[in-house]
Structure 1
Amino acid sequence: MYQRMLNSFASGMRVAVPGIIHDFNPLSQTASVQVAIRERIIDGELQQHWVDIPLLLDVPVVLPRAGGFVLTMPVRPGDECLVVFADMCIDAWFSSGGVQNQIERRRHDLSDGLAIMGAWSQPRVVANYSTTAAQLRSEDGSVSISLGPVAIDINAPTVRINGQVINP
Protein backbone atom coordinates (compact mmCIF):
# COMPACT_ATOMS: atom_id res chain seq x y z
CA MET A 1 0.00 0.00 0.00
CA TYR A 2 2.80 2.44 0.95
CA GLN A 3 4.72 1.59 -2.20
CA ARG A 4 1.65 2.34 -4.32
CA MET A 5 1.20 5.67 -2.53
CA LEU A 6 4.85 6.58 -3.12
CA ASN A 7 4.64 5.53 -6.77
CA SER A 8 1.48 7.61 -7.21
CA PHE A 9 3.15 10.66 -5.64
CA ALA A 10 6.34 10.21 -7.67
CA SER A 11 4.46 9.84 -10.97
CA GLY A 12 2.94 13.28 -10.45
CA MET A 13 6.26 14.93 -9.53
CA ARG A 14 7.95 16.63 -12.47
CA VAL A 15 11.53 17.89 -12.25
CA ALA A 16 13.31 17.79 -15.62
CA VAL A 17 13.09 15.81 -18.84
CA PRO A 18 14.60 16.02 -22.33
CA GLY A 19 12.33 17.46 -24.97
CA ILE A 20 12.16 18.10 -28.70
CA ILE A 21 11.01 21.44 -30.09
CA HIS A 22 7.81 21.01 -32.10
CA ASP A 23 7.49 24.67 -33.06
CA PHE A 24 8.88 28.03 -31.90
CA ASN A 25 7.22 31.45 -31.73
CA PRO A 26 9.90 34.15 -32.06
CA LEU A 27 7.48 36.91 -30.96
CA SER A 28 6.58 35.35 -27.58
CA GLN A 29 9.83 33.35 -27.47
CA THR A 30 7.91 30.27 -26.44
CA ALA A 31 7.81 26.80 -27.91
CA SER A 32 5.64 23.74 -28.12
CA VAL A 33 7.75 20.86 -26.84
CA GLN A 34 7.31 17.11 -27.12
CA VAL A 35 8.69 15.31 -24.08
CA ALA A 36 11.29 12.87 -25.46
CA ILE A 37 10.67 10.05 -22.99
CA ARG A 38 7.47 8.03 -22.77
CA GLU A 39 5.96 7.44 -19.37
CA ARG A 40 5.12 3.99 -18.04
CA ILE A 41 1.69 3.80 -16.46
CA ILE A 42 -0.04 0.90 -14.77
CA ASP A 43 -3.77 0.71 -15.35
CA GLY A 44 -6.51 -0.55 -13.00
CA GLU A 45 -5.85 -4.18 -14.06
CA LEU A 46 -2.14 -3.76 -13.21
CA GLN A 47 -1.21 -3.81 -16.91
CA GLN A 48 1.64 -1.51 -17.87
CA HIS A 49 1.53 0.77 -20.89
CA TRP A 50 3.95 3.30 -22.38
CA VAL A 51 2.29 6.62 -23.15
CA ASP A 52 3.47 9.84 -24.76
CA ILE A 53 3.22 12.87 -22.52
CA PRO A 54 1.00 15.45 -24.25
CA LEU A 55 2.67 18.26 -26.19
CA LEU A 56 3.73 21.04 -23.81
CA LEU A 57 2.41 24.40 -25.06
CA ASP A 58 3.70 27.96 -24.59
CA VAL A 59 6.92 26.85 -22.89
CA PRO A 60 9.27 29.80 -22.27
CA VAL A 61 12.60 29.27 -24.04
CA VAL A 62 15.72 29.88 -21.94
CA LEU A 63 18.75 31.42 -23.65
CA PRO A 64 21.88 32.97 -22.08
CA ARG A 65 20.94 36.52 -21.06
CA ALA A 66 22.35 39.03 -18.59
CA GLY A 67 23.68 42.57 -18.25
CA GLY A 68 21.65 43.95 -21.13
CA PHE A 69 22.86 41.31 -23.61
CA VAL A 70 21.32 38.10 -24.92
CA LEU A 71 22.64 35.28 -27.10
CA THR A 72 19.85 34.44 -29.52
CA MET A 73 19.74 31.35 -31.69
CA PRO A 74 17.40 30.27 -34.48
CA VAL A 75 15.35 27.69 -32.52
CA ARG A 76 13.93 25.18 -34.98
CA PRO A 77 11.61 22.16 -34.92
CA GLY A 78 13.63 19.07 -34.03
CA ASP A 79 16.07 20.94 -31.74
CA GLU A 80 16.56 19.16 -28.45
CA CYS A 81 16.26 20.86 -25.08
CA LEU A 82 15.91 20.19 -21.37
CA VAL A 83 12.51 21.02 -19.90
CA VAL A 84 12.73 22.00 -16.23
CA PHE A 85 9.49 22.16 -14.25
CA ALA A 86 9.17 25.02 -11.78
CA ASP A 87 8.42 24.40 -8.11
CA MET A 88 5.39 26.70 -8.32
CA CYS A 89 2.95 28.11 -10.87
CA ILE A 90 4.86 30.52 -13.13
CA ASP A 91 1.86 32.08 -14.93
CA ALA A 92 1.78 35.47 -13.13
CA TRP A 93 5.57 35.88 -13.26
CA PHE A 94 5.71 34.93 -16.94
CA SER A 95 2.98 37.36 -17.99
CA SER A 96 3.97 40.30 -15.73
CA GLY A 97 7.59 39.82 -14.62
CA GLY A 98 8.84 40.92 -11.21
CA VAL A 99 7.74 39.25 -7.97
CA GLN A 100 4.21 37.84 -8.18
CA ASN A 101 1.78 35.74 -6.17
CA GLN A 102 0.89 32.27 -7.38
CA ILE A 103 -2.27 32.23 -9.47
CA GLU A 104 -2.79 28.53 -8.70
CA ARG A 105 -1.34 26.34 -6.00
CA ARG A 106 0.38 23.71 -8.10
CA ARG A 107 3.89 22.30 -7.99
CA HIS A 108 6.08 20.65 -10.64
CA ASP A 109 3.23 20.77 -13.12
CA LEU A 110 3.56 20.01 -16.83
CA SER A 111 2.24 23.52 -17.54
CA ASP A 112 5.14 25.16 -15.67
CA GLY A 113 8.04 23.99 -17.83
CA LEU A 114 10.97 26.07 -19.09
CA ALA A 115 12.86 24.85 -22.18
CA ILE A 116 16.61 25.23 -21.75
CA MET A 117 18.18 25.06 -25.18
CA GLY A 118 21.44 23.22 -25.68
CA ALA A 119 20.88 19.74 -24.26
CA TRP A 120 21.37 17.01 -26.86
CA SER A 121 21.37 13.25 -27.28
CA GLN A 122 24.33 11.18 -28.44
CA PRO A 123 23.19 10.97 -32.08
CA ARG A 124 23.49 14.77 -32.19
CA VAL A 125 26.92 15.28 -30.59
CA VAL A 126 29.00 18.13 -32.02
CA ALA A 127 31.46 16.91 -34.65
CA ASN A 128 35.02 18.24 -34.41
CA TYR A 129 34.44 19.67 -30.93
CA SER A 130 37.27 22.08 -30.11
CA THR A 131 39.17 21.34 -26.91
CA THR A 132 41.44 24.37 -27.33
CA ALA A 133 39.09 27.27 -28.15
CA ALA A 134 35.70 28.71 -27.25
CA GLN A 135 33.50 28.62 -30.33
CA LEU A 136 30.28 30.09 -31.63
CA ARG A 137 29.58 27.88 -34.63
CA SER A 138 27.09 26.11 -36.81
CA GLU A 139 26.51 22.47 -35.91
CA ASP A 140 28.33 21.30 -39.02
CA GLY A 141 31.29 23.62 -38.33
CA SER A 142 31.09 25.37 -41.70
CA VAL A 143 30.67 28.77 -40.01
CA SER A 144 32.50 29.61 -36.79
CA ILE A 145 34.12 32.18 -34.57
CA SER A 146 36.86 30.61 -32.44
CA LEU A 147 38.44 32.37 -29.49
CA GLY A 148 41.74 30.60 -28.92
CA PRO A 149 44.58 31.29 -26.53
CA VAL A 150 46.51 33.41 -29.07
CA ALA A 151 44.08 34.17 -31.92
CA ILE A 152 40.48 34.76 -32.93
CA ASP A 153 39.53 32.86 -36.07
CA ILE A 154 36.43 33.68 -38.14
CA ASN A 155 35.39 31.16 -40.78
CA ALA A 156 32.44 31.95 -43.09
CA PRO A 157 31.71 32.35 -46.78
CA THR A 158 31.01 36.06 -46.13
CA VAL A 159 32.04 38.26 -43.19
CA ARG A 160 30.31 41.63 -42.76
CA ILE A 161 31.64 44.29 -40.40
CA ASN A 162 29.34 47.28 -39.84
CA GLY A 163 30.78 50.35 -38.19
CA GLN A 164 34.20 51.87 -37.90
CA VAL A 165 37.11 49.45 -37.57
CA ILE A 166 39.70 50.92 -35.20
CA ASN A 167 43.22 49.62 -34.91
CA PRO A 168 45.07 50.50 -31.70
Structure 2
Amino acid sequence: MGEKWGTDLRVAMPGIVQSFDPVEQTVTVQPSIKERIVDGEGNVSIVNLPLLLDVPISIPRAGGFALTMPVKPGDECLVIFSDMCMDAWWSQGGVQVQAEKRRHDLSDGFAILGTWSQPRRLADYSTTSAQLRSENGSSLIDIKDNEIDIVSNTVKINGVNFSNHVHMAPAGLPAGLTSGPS
Protein backbone atom coordinates (compact mmCIF):
# COMPACT_ATOMS: atom_id res chain seq x y z
CA MET A 1 0.00 0.00 0.00
CA GLY A 2 2.84 2.40 0.79
CA GLU A 3 2.86 6.10 1.59
CA LYS A 4 0.54 7.03 -1.33
CA TRP A 5 -2.37 5.14 0.23
CA GLY A 6 -1.79 6.82 3.60
CA THR A 7 -1.70 10.33 2.11
CA ASP A 8 -4.99 9.81 0.30
CA LEU A 9 -6.86 8.52 3.36
CA ARG A 10 -8.70 11.34 5.14
CA VAL A 11 -10.39 10.93 8.51
CA ALA A 12 -10.56 14.32 10.25
CA MET A 13 -8.63 17.58 10.43
CA PRO A 14 -9.04 21.08 11.82
CA GLY A 15 -9.95 23.87 9.44
CA ILE A 16 -10.75 27.56 9.27
CA VAL A 17 -14.02 28.79 7.76
CA GLN A 18 -13.43 31.11 4.79
CA SER A 19 -17.09 31.74 3.91
CA PHE A 20 -20.60 30.61 4.85
CA ASP A 21 -23.65 30.10 2.65
CA PRO A 22 -26.70 30.43 4.95
CA VAL A 23 -29.12 29.21 2.26
CA GLU A 24 -27.28 25.96 1.51
CA GLN A 25 -25.85 25.83 5.06
CA THR A 26 -22.38 25.01 3.80
CA VAL A 27 -18.95 26.49 4.38
CA THR A 28 -15.74 26.86 2.42
CA VAL A 29 -12.92 25.64 4.66
CA GLN A 30 -9.15 26.02 4.53
CA PRO A 31 -7.61 22.93 6.14
CA SER A 32 -5.31 24.26 8.86
CA ILE A 33 -2.73 21.48 8.68
CA LYS A 34 -0.27 21.61 5.81
CA GLU A 35 0.53 18.49 3.77
CA ARG A 36 4.02 17.01 3.62
CA ILE A 37 4.71 15.87 0.03
CA VAL A 38 7.64 13.66 -0.95
CA ASP A 39 8.35 13.46 -4.67
CA GLY A 40 9.85 10.44 -6.48
CA GLU A 41 13.37 11.70 -5.80
CA GLY A 42 12.83 12.06 -2.04
CA ASN A 43 12.46 15.85 -2.06
CA VAL A 44 10.08 17.13 0.60
CA SER A 45 7.76 20.09 0.19
CA ILE A 46 5.11 21.46 2.53
CA VAL A 47 1.90 22.68 0.86
CA ASN A 48 -1.52 23.96 1.83
CA LEU A 49 -4.33 21.56 1.05
CA PRO A 50 -6.91 23.02 -1.34
CA LEU A 51 -9.98 24.86 -0.08
CA LEU A 52 -12.80 22.47 0.75
CA LEU A 53 -15.91 23.76 -1.03
CA ASP A 54 -19.60 23.33 -0.16
CA VAL A 55 -18.91 21.52 3.12
CA PRO A 56 -22.17 20.83 5.02
CA ILE A 57 -22.16 22.20 8.58
CA SER A 58 -23.07 20.16 11.62
CA ILE A 59 -25.18 21.91 14.27
CA PRO A 60 -27.12 20.55 17.26
CA ARG A 61 -30.40 19.41 15.70
CA ALA A 62 -32.94 16.77 16.76
CA GLY A 63 -36.60 16.22 17.59
CA GLY A 64 -37.81 19.05 15.38
CA PHE A 65 -35.49 21.67 16.94
CA ALA A 66 -32.16 23.20 15.90
CA LEU A 67 -29.69 25.51 17.63
CA THR A 68 -28.30 27.95 15.07
CA MET A 69 -25.52 30.49 15.47
CA PRO A 70 -24.00 32.94 13.03
CA VAL A 71 -21.05 31.38 11.18
CA LYS A 72 -18.26 33.81 10.34
CA PRO A 73 -15.00 33.68 8.37
CA GLY A 74 -12.22 32.78 10.78
CA ASP A 75 -14.37 30.37 12.82
CA GLU A 76 -12.51 27.15 13.48
CA CYS A 77 -14.04 23.75 12.85
CA LEU A 78 -13.27 20.06 12.64
CA VAL A 79 -13.82 18.52 9.21
CA ILE A 80 -14.60 14.81 9.23
CA PHE A 81 -14.58 12.82 6.02
CA SER A 82 -17.23 10.31 5.04
CA ASP A 83 -16.27 6.68 4.46
CA MET A 84 -17.99 6.83 1.06
CA CYS A 85 -19.08 9.38 -1.52
CA MET A 86 -21.96 11.31 0.05
CA ASP A 87 -23.15 13.23 -3.04
CA ALA A 88 -26.40 11.32 -3.65
CA TRP A 89 -27.39 11.38 0.02
CA TRP A 90 -26.52 15.10 0.30
CA SER A 91 -28.67 16.10 -2.67
CA GLN A 92 -31.60 13.70 -2.14
CA GLY A 93 -31.62 12.59 1.52
CA GLY A 94 -32.76 9.13 2.57
CA VAL A 95 -30.80 5.98 1.70
CA GLN A 96 -28.95 6.31 -1.60
CA VAL A 97 -26.56 4.40 -3.84
CA GLN A 98 -22.98 5.72 -3.73
CA ALA A 99 -22.66 8.07 -6.75
CA GLU A 100 -18.92 7.51 -7.16
CA LYS A 101 -16.53 4.94 -5.74
CA ARG A 102 -14.35 7.01 -3.44
CA ARG A 103 -13.47 6.72 0.22
CA HIS A 104 -12.34 9.31 2.79
CA ASP A 105 -12.02 11.93 0.07
CA LEU A 106 -11.43 15.66 0.66
CA SER A 107 -14.70 16.33 -1.21
CA ASP A 108 -16.78 14.33 1.30
CA GLY A 109 -16.32 16.40 4.46
CA PHE A 110 -18.66 17.67 7.17
CA ALA A 111 -17.69 20.74 9.22
CA ILE A 112 -18.35 20.40 12.93
CA LEU A 113 -18.41 23.94 14.25
CA GLY A 114 -17.32 24.72 17.77
CA THR A 115 -13.91 23.09 17.90
CA TRP A 116 -11.06 25.54 18.50
CA SER A 117 -7.36 25.92 18.99
CA GLN A 118 -5.81 26.98 22.29
CA PRO A 119 -5.35 30.64 21.28
CA ARG A 120 -9.15 30.81 20.83
CA ARG A 121 -10.15 29.00 24.04
CA LEU A 122 -12.91 30.64 26.09
CA ALA A 123 -11.92 32.73 29.09
CA ASP A 124 -13.70 32.21 32.41
CA TYR A 125 -15.32 28.89 31.46
CA SER A 126 -18.12 28.21 33.94
CA THR A 127 -18.01 24.92 35.82
CA THR A 128 -21.19 25.68 37.79
CA SER A 129 -23.77 26.64 35.17
CA ALA A 130 -24.73 26.20 31.53
CA GLN A 131 -24.28 29.37 29.54
CA LEU A 132 -25.14 30.95 26.25
CA ARG A 133 -22.34 33.47 25.98
CA SER A 134 -20.23 35.54 23.67
CA GLU A 135 -16.63 34.58 23.01
CA ASN A 136 -15.45 37.68 24.92
CA GLY A 137 -16.77 36.15 28.15
CA SER A 138 -20.10 37.94 28.46
CA SER A 139 -22.73 35.51 29.72
CA LEU A 140 -26.06 36.18 28.01
CA ILE A 141 -28.08 33.36 29.55
CA ASP A 142 -26.88 31.57 32.67
CA ILE A 143 -28.71 28.39 33.73
CA LYS A 144 -28.30 26.81 37.16
CA ASP A 145 -30.40 24.16 38.95
CA ASN A 146 -33.61 26.17 39.45
CA GLU A 147 -32.60 29.54 38.04
CA ILE A 148 -32.33 31.16 34.61
CA ASP A 149 -30.54 34.50 34.58
CA ILE A 150 -30.79 36.61 31.40
CA VAL A 151 -27.96 39.13 31.41
CA SER A 152 -28.57 41.78 28.77
CA ASN A 153 -29.06 45.51 28.35
CA THR A 154 -32.09 44.74 26.20
CA VAL A 155 -34.58 41.93 26.68
CA LYS A 156 -37.30 41.70 24.02
CA ILE A 157 -40.31 39.41 23.96
CA ASN A 158 -42.21 39.38 20.66
CA GLY A 159 -40.36 42.56 19.71
CA VAL A 160 -41.38 44.42 22.88
CA ASN A 161 -38.51 45.74 25.01
CA PHE A 162 -38.98 44.51 28.60
CA SER A 163 -35.68 45.85 29.94
CA ASN A 164 -37.34 48.90 31.54
CA HIS A 165 -40.87 47.57 31.52
CA VAL A 166 -43.07 48.86 34.36
CA HIS A 167 -46.65 47.89 35.21
CA MET A 168 -48.78 50.70 36.55
CA ALA A 169 -51.29 49.99 39.28
CA PRO A 170 -54.68 49.06 37.84
CA ALA A 171 -57.64 51.37 38.39
CA GLY A 172 -58.96 51.18 41.94
CA LEU A 173 -55.56 50.46 43.54
CA PRO A 174 -53.40 53.08 45.25
CA ALA A 175 -51.50 55.31 42.78
CA GLY A 176 -47.75 54.81 42.55
CA LEU A 177 -47.82 51.02 42.85
CA THR A 178 -45.65 49.55 40.13
CA SER A 179 -44.01 46.32 39.26
CA GLY A 180 -41.03 45.88 37.05
CA PRO A 181 -37.27 45.64 37.17
CA SER A 182 -35.83 45.83 40.66
Common fold by TM > 0.5: yes
Of 57, 60, 64, the residue aligned with 1:61 is: 57
The yes-or-no answer on 1:28 pairing with 2:24 is yes
User: Deviations 1:36-64 (Å, cap 9, x if unpaired)?
Assistant: 00010101220111110000000001100
Which position in structure 2 is the counterpart of 1:91? 87
Q: Secondary structure at the match of 1:61?
A: strand
| Alignment gaps of 5+ in structure 1 | 164-168
User: Deviations 1:99-132 (Å, cap 9, x if unpaired)?
Assistant: 1101001000000000000100000000111000
Which structure has the higher relative contact order (CA within 8 Å, separation 6+)?
A: 1
Of 133, 143, 147, the residue aligned with 1:147 is: 143
The yes-or-no answer on 1:158 pairing with 2:139 is no
Larger radius of gyration: 2
Deviant stretches of 4+, over 6 Å:
none
Query: How many equivalent pairs are there?
Result: 159
Aligned 8 A contact 2:131 2:139 in 1: no
Which position in structure 1 is the counterpart of 2:177? none
Structure 1: how far apart are the matches of 2:149 and 2:2? Answer: 55
Which position in structure 2 is the counterpart of 1:107? 103
Q: CA deviation at 1:152?
A: 1.2
The code of the aligned residue for 1:85 comes to: F
The yes-or-no answer on 1:38 pairing with 2:34 is yes
Q: Secondary structure at the match of 2:149?
A: strand
The code of the aligned residue for 1:33 comes to: V
Which position in structure 2 is the counterpart of 1:116? 112
Q: CA deviation at 1:30?
A: 0.4
User: Deviations 1:7-27 (Å, cap 9, x if unpaired)?
Assistant: 221111000000000000000
Q: Secondary structure at the match of 2:157?
A: coil
User: Deviations 1:39-98 (Å, cap 9, x if unpaired)?
Assistant: 101012201111100000000011000000000010000000000000000101001111
Calculate the TM-score normalised by the size of structure 2. 0.84
The yes-or-no answer on 1:10 pairing with 2:9 is no
The code of the aligned residue for 1:106 comes to: R
Moved more, 154-163 or 17-26: 154-163
Q: Name the structure with the higher helix share.
A: 1
Q: Secondary structure at the match of 1:10?
A: helix
Structure 2: how far apart are the matches of 1:46 and 1:156? Answer: 60
Q: CA RMSD in A?
A: 1.2
| Alignment gaps of 5+ in structure 2 | 160-182
